[in-house]
Amino acid sequence: MTKEKLLAEIRMMGIKDKKVLEAIEKTPREKFIRKTDDSQAYGNYPLPIGYDQTISQPYTVAYMIQELRLKKAHKVLEIGGGSGYNAAVMSNVVGKEGKIISIERIPELVEFARKNIRKEGIENIWVVKGDGSKGYKKQSLYDRIIVTAACPKIPEALKDQLKQGGILLAPVNAGFGQEMIRLKKTNHGFEEESLGQFRFVPLVTED
């Protein structure tokens, strides 16, 4: 599939946010996958990136970023950096004034993501090796937090590191399928909303 056909397909599937569609168009997915999968770069499905991890389906990437309600200059914490693709798409939405902190547990994928991001000349993404369930307190508080792996429940550390008025998006339940949950932090706690069913690889912690 070509990038143009992929964009047409995800529009038909309900992606309406122009900023997200432009970011998908600008971000070369072929630069964030294994060379052996080049011909499948714009297929609307996940691809393996090694170490039992995948690069998410483009529709899922677009949907999550759309529902995260990103704006220019936002500071975003990403849990599960993978190959760096999701962070690269988000970096196009938040612009040069924005900042993406991406946490990845697997050392080889940390290096893979850093190399991919460096080659693309992206300067507003920092890939950090660590346990995503603990967040990254050093750079908190965050406007947005996105979890790209399935968690049994949303870690309290992530809730603590979210700004007032901020949004956190995560697939919850480590079973066969997960429920996409959007939390908004308010003065009175968290407003929770379910956005439907998805499937993700599990979030592995160091505990």
141: which residues sit within 8 A by CB, 6+ positions away?
A: 161, 162, 163, 166
53 contacts 106 by C-beta, under 8 angstroms: yes
Q: Confirm whether 140 is a catalytic residue.
A: no
Catalytic residue (one of 56, 83, 102, 133): 56
Sign, CA dihedral 151-154-196-8, equals negative
**Could you give the residue numbers annotated as active site?**
56
